[in-house]
Amino acid sequence: MHKIIFTILCSIFFVANAQQKYDTIYVVRIDTIYVLHNDSTKTEEPVEEASTSLLDELNTITEAPKPNPKKIKIYNTFGGTHLINGQTIETINKKTMAMIISHRFGRVNQGWRDFFGLDQASIRLGFEYGILDNLTVGLGRSNYNKTFDGYIKYRFLSQKEKGMPLSMCFYTNMAISTAKYINQNRKNYFSSKLSYTFQLMIARKFNKYFSMQLMPTVVHKNLVKTQQDKNTLFVLGAGVRINMSKRLSLLAEYYARIGDKYNSGGYQDAFAIGLDIVTGGHVFQLQLTNAQAMYESGFLRETTGKFWKGDIHIGFNISRTWSTARKPKEERQAKKQERMQKKLAKAGS
């Protein structure tokens, strides 16, 4: 009995002494000893090399710093660089090329003899290139008034998870009509064929289902038909995107002409609704609109159709992007070796 009491006292003394000197807790098992915590720098008794400190190992692991939500950008506010007729705040990546084919048929209410507008068509072929991730340039040609247009789009502000609630983009476009002068008897100038657009895009992605964009715009045309028409026109545009699935979205846009109700051509506000279908590197857009032109000074200034009276053009946009950046050296070498192996295998067979 005295041996048992002596053993218990020695154990109590050992544990008390260990906690006082080393602040160490030992869990004793038959096979080994696990050191759970140790705040001391030295121990009087050597620890076996096989013994490991779980908390010491955890302390040596440096946790990755959590990203600052004020620096996390919100992407994919819209599915592509084009809303329907107009642009979005989206820019393509650096060293990336995009081709956009836009098509507008004639008016649906023209009847069955014109196959509900399908016998007529306006086409625009455009290209975009990403100089920087937030700087895109573009060039296009439309058979509507035989017009060439070029533009620059710069996204200078991006929405963040915390802090910045909006994205902003500046867009400017210049269009040149190459159609023949209407009045050949007077002296015509090259500047008469030019028109300009300046636009500020303000957008917000409220959640994964809904995005909205406002577009205060100034459009200037050097030559107008009559003195009653304004050379400089102010337009306020608005567009929305509603995600219905991962690849399908509903789009709508409206451009209100400000202070131009009594123009000579009976021009109307441009309106459009459409579907946005994303498939890999392609974005396909199907739309209904009262505008036939596909560049800003065209559909903002010269839309004559009344959407709710059946002056509707069925149209679509197709865009395809691809990278022009040179592939990494390792990837190029791997593909080169793969080609050499195929040639050797073919020669050996």
Mark 106-131 as b/e (b = at least 16 C-beta within 10 Å). Answer: bbbebeeeeebbeeeebebebebbbe
142 token code pair? 């439309």
- How high is the pLDDT of residue 33? 33
User: For 170-193, what is each residue's pLDDT tens digit?
Assistant: 999 999 999 888 777 778 888 989
Question: Comparing 127 with 187, which gets the higher pLDDT?
Answer: 127
Higher pLDDT among residues 231 and 327, named by residue: 231
Q: Specify the CATH class of 96-323 in words.
A: mainly beta
Name the amino acid, one letter, at 310.
G
Picking from 308, 240, 229, 319, the residue whose alpha carbon sits closest to that of residue 274 is: 240
- pLDDT top residue among 327 and 218: 218
Task: For residue 349, name the pLDDT band (cuts at 50, 70, 90).
Answer: low
Distance CA 340, CA 349 (A): 14
Instruction: Give the pLDDT band (50/70/90) at residue 257.
Output: very high
Q: Is the CB of residue 320 less than 8 Å from the CB of residue 99? A: yes
**Rounded Cα gap, residues 19 and 271, in angstroms:** 79
285 and 162 in contact (C-beta within 8 Å)? no
pLDDT at 53 over 90: no
In the chain, domain spans? 2-60, 96-323
- pLDDT tens across 295-312, in order? 999 999 999 999 998 899
The pLDDT, as a whole number, for residue 174 is 96
- Please state, in angstroms and rounded to a whole number, the distance separating the CA atoms of residues 230 and 263: 8
Per-residue pLDDT tens digits for 5-43: 555 555 544 444 444 443 433 333 333 332 333 444 444
pLDDT averaged over the chain?
Answer: 81
pLDDT tens sequence across 67-84: 777 788 888 899 889 999
Q: Residue 49: what pLDDT? A: 47
- Token readout for 144 is 């509507």
